Amino acid sequence: MNAPDRSALAPAAYASTWETNFNFAYLDERSKRMIRRAILKAVAIPGYQVPFGSREMPLPYGWGTGGIQVTASIIGPDDVLKVIDQGADDTVNAVNIRRFFQRTTGVRTTESTAAATVIQTRHRIPEVPLSAHQILVYQVPVPEPLQRLEPREVETRRMHGLSEYGLMHVKFYEDIARYGHIVTTYDYPVMVDGRYLMSPSPIPAFDNPKMHMNPALQLFGAGREKRIYAVPPHTAVESLAFDDYPFAPQRWDAVCAICAAADSFLDEVITDDRGGRMHVCSDTDYCRTRQAAAP
Amino acid sequence: MYVAVKGGERAIENSLALLASQRRGDPQVPELTLQQIREQMRLAVDRVMTEGSVYDEDLAALALKQAAGDTLEAVFLLRAYRATLPRLGYTQAIDTAQMQLARRVSATFKDLPGGQLLGPTYDYTQRLLDFSLAAAAEPPVAPESPMEVEAAAVPRVMDLLAAEGLIEVCQPREGDPAPADLTRDPLHFPADRPTRLQNLARGDEGFLLALGYSTQRGYAHSHPFAAEIRFGRVEIEIEPDELGFAVSIGDIDVTECQMVNQFAGSATELPRFTRGYGLCFGHCERKAMAMALVDRALCAAELGEDVVAPAQMPEFVLSHSDSLEASGFVAHLKLPHYVDFQAELELLRRMRSRDIATAAEAA
């Protein structure tokens, strides 16, 4: 790699702010071991939701406690951590979680996707393809893809056991009958390794294809619902669809107003009260890197 | 222009500083001490200890101070602290029959062994605002107990009914496994009664109160009677492996509520009353009673009753009782959802433009 981008690596001063009153990465070693066991099981059974003894973290449930516990269990002093929310490194929740790990581990942090070894994310997969030395940790609000169709866990567990996913197909069929196409735009369910139906977390359907055969390890943590699941490297991940109604992620007529990218997920920003708006990359690192590379 | 939410780090730092100053309020007013909270906000401390699942009055007082009196936030602080504590061992089951009673009332028997003991309660205060409390005054003096409260055990009403065989037996069976520990292992369904009771004990008082109330209004009516409510001090014992016998490690205050409910019987069994049980740290009567109502409602399936109301549905009740889980997930709607919203926006525009095009073609 070239000389590291100065803005990409956090100042070394962070290391000295490491709070020694807590164990490394906050959780005690026995809790981490329990979580690692759940992770190993999850990797062994791709897409299967492994129950785990989720701890009460000092951040609220629903704000990434599952992802935080997974990251806390796998992170080591040599890791370089990137935290994104909505694709951006500088949204308050991402900043807050990064700050939490800076305080409790003192590890180096980065905004560069390529420089990170562990990336914790909420709602996006980075645009830059990941590599084998990286782990992507997703924050998951609702791990059960069938929950909105069948709230009873006893029932959904049975459906997974029998690989009986007719309920979701019927939902999609009804979408098509009513609206002309499938109206799920995010948290679009996927089949993992041809066996388990899985929630990809609320990433846009646009990101779903990136999960397929990804060389990085993808871990999913749901703290409130106390589940961990995984997509091991190079695993088939297929977005659910019909032969005559294939999977159709979102697309834009616009390009990024800052870096002119036509291949990235675009956020719409309202610029005035007269209907003015612009589209910009949701992945801030991708956008910044493209701007820097532009002549 | 394009500004978005840059500078999150500065914003958070400033927010923390603002919060700290807002919590402190007017610096001319003397700062609250933990002792003041512990002694004079006793019921708030008790609720935080109960739902925070830690019996520590000082930590609960600290949590309340830090949370500026927001009970749920204080529960959250205490729970997060609790998660870092090592698990040294488990205590022996407490025996509430041995309780040093401060209060004990039964709604099912006018008099009974051990008597009725009204003790401190808001029940008969007439709820008139007492303006004398607005000014500092001489501390009130607690009256002497007219009767010698015996240190001896006062039998529980339920035990009296059980002696006659009138109420269902809830003794652990031979080889009964140790109950699951909900703070270590996730909730599984179907959940057995010990697990349900653990969940309810940590559950949000407001949620349980509303559910318990719903059972009184026709949603799973179970004809409850408050057989006994007792509040007082019990001894906590542990049995260290190396000793082989139990030793006392201190006393805690608890509130216990036992509800006696409509009977159940069958072709092979004589009819019996059934039970609902509630137990809380400190003095939390409302919570203990609500818990007992909900506990009984959740036994519906096991007692062969039709499950028709929310309070009878374990998945509904137990998955939504925890204030941490509920408040966290509701509050998370404050987090940015730009990406998901953008995805919905794109879809909606696409659907509308297609419909407009179809309409134009038809015209």
User: For A177-205, how does the pLDDT look when each residue is reduced to its tens digit (9 = 90+)?
Assistant: 998 889 899 999 999 999 999 999 999 99
Residue from the list B9, B82, B329 with its beta carbon closest to the beta carbon of A62: B329
Band the pLDDT of A18: cuts 50, 70, 90: low
Residue B172 in tokens:
């652990």
Band the pLDDT of B240: cuts 50, 70, 90: confident
Per-residue pLDDT at A3: 39
Contact assignment for B330 to A278 by CB distance below 8 Å:
no
- Average pLDDT over all residues of chain B: 90
Q: What is the count of residue pairs from A and B with beta carbons less than 8 Å apart?
A: 148
The residues, ordered by sequence, that sit 6+ positions from A40 with a Cβ below 8 Å of its Cβ are none
Whether residue B149 has pLDDT greater than 60: no
Amino acid at A226: K
- Angle (deg, nearest 10), helices B71-82 and B57-66: 130
3-state secondary structure chain A: CCCCCCCCECCCHHHHCCCCCCECCECCHHHHHHHHHHHHHHHHCCCCCEECCCCCCCCCCCCCHHHHHHHHHHCCCCCEEEEEECCECCCHHHHHHHHHHHHHHCCEEECCCCCCCEEEEECCCCCCCCCCCCEEEEECCCCCCCCCCCCCHHHHHHHHHHCCCHHHHHHHHHHHHHHCCCCCCECCCEEECCCEEECCCCCEHHHHHHHCCCCCEEEEEECCCCEEEEECCCCCEEECCCCCCCCCCCCCCCCCCCCCCCCCCEEEEECCCCCCEEEEECCHHHHHHHHHHCC
Selected for mutation to probe chain A from B195, B342, B350, B355 (highest A CB count within 10 Å) is B342
Q: Report yes or no: A133 and A52 within 8 Å, Cβ to Cβ.
A: no
Catalytic positions of A, written as ranges: 47, 256, 259, 281, 287
User: Rounded distance, CA A26 to CA A28, Å?
Assistant: 7
Q: Report yes or no: A86 and A268 within 8 Å, Cβ to Cβ.
A: no
* Three-class secondary structure of residue A293 per DSSP: helix
Q: Which of B350, B5, B331 is nearest to A267 (CA)?
A: B5
Classify residue B108 as exposed, middle or buried by CB count within 10 Å of its CB (0-12, 13-18, 19+).
middle
The alpha carbon of residue A96 is apart from the nearest alpha carbon of chain B, in Å, by 8
Q: What is the rounded end-to-end Cα distance, in angstroms, of chain B?
A: 41
Per-residue pLDDT at B3: 41
Establish whether the linkage from the previous residue to A58 is cis, with ω within 30° of 0. no
pLDDT digits (tens, 9 = 90+) for A134-187: 999 999 999 999 999 999 999 999 999 999 999 999 999 999 999 888 989 999
3-state secondary structure A159-189: HHHHCCCHHHHHHHHHHHHHHCCCCCCECCC
Residue from the list B1, B187, B338 with its beta carbon closest to the beta carbon of A271: B1
pLDDT digits (tens, 9 = 90+) for B301-339: 988 889 999 999 999 999 999 999 999 999 999 988 988
Q: Report yes or no: B168 and B275 within 8 Å, Cβ to Cβ.
A: yes
The residues, ordered by sequence, that sit 6+ positions from B48 with a Cβ below 8 Å of its Cβ are B60, B63, B64, B71, B74, B75, B78
The number of C-alpha atoms within 13 Å of B10 and in the hemisphere containing its C-beta is 3
User: Rounded distance, CA A46 to CA A232, Å?
Assistant: 7
Nearest CA in chain B to A228: B186
Per-residue pLDDT at A15: 43
pLDDT digits (tens, 9 = 90+) for A56-85: 898 999 999 999 999 999 999 999 999 999
The number of C-alpha atoms within 13 Å of B106 and in the hemisphere containing its C-beta is 19
Per-residue pLDDT at B147: 59
Contact assignment for B346 to A252 by CB distance below 8 Å:
yes
Per-residue pLDDT at A162: 97
User: Rounded distance, CA B264 to CA B100, Å?
Assistant: 33
Contact assignment for B324 to A60 by CB distance below 8 Å:
yes
Per-residue pLDDT at B178: 85
Residue B184 in tokens:
């270590």
Residue with tokens 């349900």: B196
3-state percent helix, strand, coil for chain B, nearest multiple of 5: 40, 15, 45
User: Rounded distance, CA A139 to CA A200, Å?
Assistant: 10
| pTM summary value | 0.87
Contact assignment for A86 to B12 by CB distance below 8 Å:
no
- Residues of chain A contacting residue B323, judged by C-beta atoms under 8 Å apart: none
Band the pLDDT of A17: cuts 50, 70, 90: low
**DSSP notation for A5-31:** PTTTBPPTHHHHT--TTSBTTBS-HHH
User: Rounded distance, CA B343 to CA A251, Å?
Assistant: 9
Residue from the list B80, B190, B329 with its beta carbon closest to the beta carbon of A224: B329
pLDDT digits (tens, 9 = 90+) for A19-29: 666 789 999 99
Selected for mutation to probe chain B from A50, A96, A185 (highest B CB count within 10 Å) is A185
Strands (E), B270-325: 272-281
Q: Which residue has the higher pLDDT, B3 or A128?
A: A128
Enter the DSSP assignment of A243: S
Q: Which residue has the higher pLDDT, B86 or B129?
A: B129
Least confident of A16-30, A179-193, B157-171, B180-194: A16-30
